[in-house]
Chains A and B, each alone.
Chain A
């Protein structure tokens, strides 16, 4: 199953409805305490101190970034408020039970079903090296790509290798979208060989095309859109706030002119042969310098 958090899983299955979903979220918000509030409550920070630095400072992601940059809290203090937050956290399923939307006896089995559906074929990801740039982001994008590829092709894809790459860009289609992940503005580019474009568009559309026309390119852009969307969900589950813009297709010339970056190359073994997908995470400053 593609990345989906528990509440969405229950909503789509029709086990809970819109009102029950929102009531559970509301209960979570009244009980769960953001880290900034915990720090103020414990006297580690003055009320209003953070707001002077950043109006959005009370999201946990921003809070941790600011306190680290400004050395506002010690490591022990951060650990203490994080531990307390976790201990008092009410999970979505528990909120449903407390609200009477779900019988306690159903929560465990449903969560197990959800976890089984969401389980990842770890062997496919074992090639993702530890040293790739922006490791968490790369691994999530790579996993989401594989998951979506499997979803559409229904065939197991073996990852042959995942290697850092510098400037080699494959011929074919380049699809990019801008992501704001935490405080990083990233450009995510997926480059695919023409043959892989044909295969993906065939699976997406259900029919084979002799040539890759506008609709086929649209299908591949949608493939990337779904990959990125699912990656965002996984990152979000890891407390990483993400914003996304719709993917666009870019020529190689435009890509090289505007963005030069470290890349990760993933070689896929499929029933149709071996293909390469490359991921680029350009440096933001290069993008600003090139400008348009």
Chain B
């Protein structure tokens, strides 16, 4: 993992939220190579960039987070997807993890929490 850089696709509806996460990941091993403002774009960008990790919001227009998650995993069953959402209801989390997300980060999430989850993902192949 030393000196290795991981490509991240960041999919979240508000531009502000994407800007904040991008800032949090600056100067880390995780480089945001693509962004998406809705679920449809998220799937398109995943197909185009084949990122190492996807940070995917739950509530997005056009195609929801869970729907985009399903489509991404159909493109690549080994895709590592971390859900990022203000809605941390048990049903929502269970649904996303059941579909195949590796982790779920509830907003507001600080830089430390995001990096901890991403580091666990690349070290172990799962967020633990």
Contacts of B107 in A (CB 8 A): 225-226, 229
For B60, the chain A residues whose CB sits under 8 A away are 246
Query: Which residues between 21 and 38 of chain A lie within 8 Å of chain B, taking CB atoms?
Result: 21-22, 25
Residues of B within 8 A of A262 (CB): none
In terms of DSSP, what is the predominant structure of the interface of chain B? mixed
Q: For B16, what are the chain A residues with a Cβ–Cβ distance below 8 Å?
A: 204-205, 215, 218-219, 221-222
Q: Is the CB of B13 within 8 A of A18?
A: no
Chain A residues lying within 8 Å of B108, measured Cβ to Cβ, are: 2, 148, 151-152, 226
Within 8 A of B (CB), among A211-254: 214-215, 218-219, 221-222, 225-226, 228-230, 232-233, 236, 242, 244-246
CB distance from A12 to the nearest CB of B (A): 6
In the complex, which residues of chain A have a beta carbon less than 8 angstroms from the beta carbon of B25?
Answer: none
Is residue A78 within 8 Å, beta carbon to beta carbon, of the partner chain?
no
Check A74 for interface membership: any CB of B closer than 8 A.
no
Tally of A-B Cβ pairs under 8 angstroms: 108
B97:A8 contact, CB within 8 angstroms? no
How far is A4 from B107 in the complex, measured between Cα atoms in Å? Answer: 10
| Set A2, A11, A215: member contacting B15, Cβ < 8 A | A215
Residue interface bits B21-56, CB-to-A below 8 A is 1, else 0: 001000000000000000000000000000000000
A40 to chain B, nearest CB (A): 23
| Cβ of A14 under 8 Å from chain B | yes
Could you give 21 example pairs across A and B, Cβ below 8 Å?
A: A5-B89, A7-B93, A11-B103, A12-B105, A12-B113, A14-B116, A18-B127, A21-B94, A22-B98, A204-B20, A205-B20, A215-B16, A218-B14, A218-B17, A221-B14, A222-B14, A225-B59, A229-B86, A230-B86, A233-B88, A244-B87
Question: Which residues of A come within 8 Å of B, CB atoms?
Answer: 2-5, 7-8, 11-12, 14, 16-22, 25, 148, 151-152, 204-206, 214-215, 218-219, 221-222, 225-226, 228-230, 232-233, 236, 242, 244-246
